[in-house]
Amino acid sequence: MNQHGMAPHESIELHELLTFKNVCLTKALTMSLLASDDELKSILKQDAASTQQHIEELRGFIEQSDMNGISNSDNKQQ
């Protein structure tokens, strides 16, 4: 593993976090449509917005890592 890559267990945990955050986002958006209380709707929409930011950050980590199966040394050889 090079300095910029991730260990396999880190990659797996990153995918687990991304999956969990996607479920959280789906639930918050769905519940905000079903909620009748305005304050609760506001809380759920704020949660959805912050969860979307977390998802984008996790996607950035995935893109920066060697998750596609090609290490940086392989890229240099091509």
| Whether the model pTM is above 0.75 | no
pLDDT tens digits for range 6-43: 888 998 999 999 999 999 999 999 999 999 999 999 99
CA dist 36 to 30, 33, 40, 60, Å? 12, 8, 8, 35
Higher pLDDT, 69 or 64: 64
